[in-house]
Amino acid sequence: MRVSQLFAPTLRETPAEAEVVSHKLMLRAGLIRKAAGGVYSYLPLAWRVLKKIETIVREEMDAKGGQELSMPIIQPAEMWQETGRWSVYGDEMFRLKDRHNRNFCLGPTHEEMITTIVRGDVRSYRQLPLMLYQIQNKYRDEIRPRFGLMRGREFIMKDAYSFDRDEAGLDVNYNKMYDAYTRVFNRCGLTFRAVEADSGAIGGSGSHEFMVIADSGEAGIVYCGDCDYAANVEKAELHPISAPAEERLPLTEKDTPDMKSISEVSHYLEVSPEKTIKTLAFRTDTGAVVLALVRGDHEVNEIKLLNKVGCIQLEMANEEAISNVIGSQAGYIGPVGIESSKDIIIVADTSVMNMHNAVCGANKKDTHYINVNPLRDFTPSTVTDIRLIQANDPCPRCGAPVKTARGIEVGQVFKLFTKYSTSLQATFIDDGGKEKPMVMGCYGIGVSRTMAAAIEQNNDENGIIWPVPIAPFHAIVIPISNKDQAQMALAEKIYNELNEAGFEALFDDRNERPGVKFKDADLIGYPIKITIGPKAIDEDQIEVKARRTGETFYFNHEEYVKGIR
């Protein structure tokens, strides 16, 4: 490809809207352009990178027996109503109606769809296990789409689903996927860590997140330098490892409710005709009644909040103390009493920030709790003694001081067990003739987020430094002077030879000053830059520069291909 024909519109200035480095560099290097908040076009260079990441993902999925398929993005409401997630998903779900007024959504994930497919066609244990996956756009109307591709509202995900006869089978598939993910992120050239994650409503020990280590990461992680303990902060705090016994929070792990019981006690509270707030209530072993209100959002976060709440002394809460615990995920939390004023608290997502008003008695449209009277039904108070996990706290496994870091969640593996197969009746007949629900797992990789994470981890003041396996092109050949026929001819010859040798090379044939070409090459971040100037012509010394190390090598025309390898 000749750069004169390449559509890679680079920018000299950093667009004001970009906060993190990957977003800035993707705009400046001509990789993406914004259509709307969290919705981007991928320009040709980005598309090449995404295809390479997808190829790596595909190869590793196939190597583990995964079979690729493609499911619709438009999903009918009915299957989501069967699992109850039509209402639980809340505002994060993009919803639409067809001309007959039927409800649909744009798929934020595909558990309902895949389970519906499999239940129709899998009857016998002989048809199991199955591992099915797709790579496709997903749609989530994130409250705060930001950081470019990092938190989009339309983004590319690889989602895989396993179906097994029993939990032993699920373990095998889960471990295969864990291994595949490790291989994928290694092959992409990323520094990452797999951490234990809260498996939320599902219970059990069955989830890991794959975190690319980067200061801009939205997730906190805790890990041990001595043993292999690593967890996200939420999970680590569920097992309070930090505080000495006497400092420990009065509620114990036992007080964290059995997550399965939560759905049984959950009910809905109408906030206004258009806005339903999901209410989850449970009673802890100490008898405290905990009420968490979350506007139908993402299921996992909801449970995370609950878990955390379950781990703190609930008697008293104030907004500041609790938002310290919950971090950025909750905008408002306050205590409310319904039975007895001190035992019940409210957790609300930022999307219901204005509930603050409601709780404080404001009677604004859309923000009023029906049948909840602030002051009559609750009194505010404060949380005492909250101890968050900190660096150097003892590792729960070996006691060595733990370390903390920030991470970008690029993937997650999750044991679903029979959550969806039960609600959607995906059953099979086992070898003893008994009907059983299939045992499922789900496994996601954020493909477009992985591209952004790669840039977060690989850049300098001049631009992107692509890891070779996902670079849009491997090398660029730059003649110093377009007017010099000999330079142009040699540059073109080298460009052709490189492509023949299996490299993806570019030829910067633009009639631009060399400085402009070098700046663009560094900004876009091709791993290898080959400069053809007088030295190449007069002395047969071809200059090869490595983007990552900045090292310069000289090779003659017979050796440079080998030299680059």
Enumerate binding residues for ligand ATP (CB under 6 A): 109, 140, 142, 151-152, 155, 157, 298, 409-412, 444, 446, 448-449
Residue number with the shortest CB distance to ligand ATP? 446
Smallest gap from residue 235 Cβ to ligand ATP (A): 13
Q: Looking at beta carbons only, is 442 or 471 nearer to ligand ATP? A: 442
Smallest gap from residue 424 Cβ to ligand ATP (A): 19
Q: Looking at beta carbons only, is 284 or 412 nearer to Mg ion? A: 412
Cβ neighbours of residue 538 under 8 Å, at least 6 residues apart? none
Q: Looking at beta carbons only, is 89 or 555 nearer to ligand ATP? A: 89
Smallest gap from residue 151 Cβ to ligand ATP (A): 4
Q: Give the footprint of Mg ion on residues 229-258 (CB under 5 A).
A: none
* Residue 119 interacts with which of ligand ATP, Mg ion, none, CB < 5 to 8 Å by class: none
Sign of CA dihedral 142, 317, 283, 387: positive
d(CA 54, CA 88): 31
d(CA 381, CA 404): 31
Counting residues that bind Mg ion (by CB under 5 A) gives 2
Q: Looking at beta carbons only, is 95 or 368 nearer to ligand ATP? A: 95
DSSP state of 151: B
Smallest gap from residue 409 Cβ to Mg ion (A): 5
Smallest gap from residue 131 Cβ to ligand ATP (A): 17
* Residue 449 interacts with which of Mg ion, ligand ATP, none, CB < 5 to 8 Å by class: ligand ATP
Smallest gap from residue 142 Cβ to Mg ion (A): 7
Alpha helices in 136-272 (DSSP H): 167-187, 233-238, 259-265
268 touches 87 (CB < 8 A): yes
DSSP state of 258: P
- Where do we find the tokens 């000749």? 2
d(CA 60, CA 41): 27
Q: Looking at beta carbons only, is 152 or 335 nearer to ligand ATP? A: 152
Q: Give the footprint of Mg ion on residues 328-387 (CB under 5 A).
A: none
DSSP state of 150: G
Smallest gap from residue 218 Cβ to ligand ATP (A): 6
Q: Looking at beta carbons only, is 347 or 453 nearer to ligand ATP? A: 453
Query: For Mg ion, what does the binding mask look like between residues 393 and 422, x meaning CB under 5 A?
Result: ----------------x--x----------
* Residue 351 interacts with which of ligand ATP, Mg ion, none, CB < 5 to 8 Å by class: none
CA-closest candidate to residue 141, choices 113, 107, 170, 115 = 107
Smallest gap from residue 155 Cβ to ligand ATP (A): 4
Task: Give the count of beta carbons closer than 10 Å to the beta carbon of residue 486.
Answer: 14
475 touches 508 (CB < 8 A): no
* Residue 411 interacts with which of ligand ATP, Mg ion, none, CB < 5 to 8 Å by class: ligand ATP
Smallest gap from residue 447 Cβ to ligand ATP (A): 8
Number of helical H runs and strand E runs in the chain: 17, 28
CA-closest candidate to residue 409, choices 193, 124, 238 = 193
Q: Going by DSSP bridges, is the β-strand pair 435-437/130-139 parallel, antiparallel, or unpaired?
A: unpaired
Q: Looking at beta carbons only, is 106 or 345 nearer to ligand ATP? A: 106
* Residue 61 interacts with which of ligand ATP, Mg ion, none, CB < 5 to 8 Å by class: none
Cβ neighbours of residue 59 under 8 Å, at least 6 residues apart? none
**100 to 72, 103, 104, 167, 266: CA distances (angstroms):** 19, 9, 11, 42, 32
DSSP state of 286: T
Smallest gap from residue 408 Cβ to ligand ATP (A): 8
CA dihedral 419, 423, 426, 432 (to 10 degrees): 80
Smallest gap from residue 153 Cβ to Mg ion (A): 11
Q: Looking at beta carbons only, is 335 or 446 nearer to ligand ATP? A: 446
Report if residue 199 touches Mg ion, rule: CB under 5 A.
no
* Residue 116 interacts with which of ligand ATP, Mg ion, none, CB < 5 to 8 Å by class: none
Sign of CA dihedral 361, 331, 141, 291: negative
Task: Give the count of beta carbons closer than 10 Å to the beta carbon of residue 79.
Answer: 18
CA-closest candidate to residue 86, choices 94, 95, 77, 98 = 77
What backbone phi and psi angles, to 5 degrees, belong to 119? Answer: -65, -30
* Residue 157 interacts with which of ligand ATP, Mg ion, none, CB < 5 to 8 Å by class: ligand ATP
Q: Looking at beta carbons only, is 414 or 560 nearer to Mg ion? A: 414
d(CA 149, CA 18): 11
Q: Looking at beta carbons only, is 24 or 208 nearer to Mg ion? A: 208
* Residue 151 interacts with which of ligand ATP, Mg ion, none, CB < 5 to 8 Å by class: ligand ATP
Q: Looking at beta carbons only, is 224 or 300 nearer to Mg ion? A: 300
Residues making contact with Mg ion (CB under 5 A): 409, 412
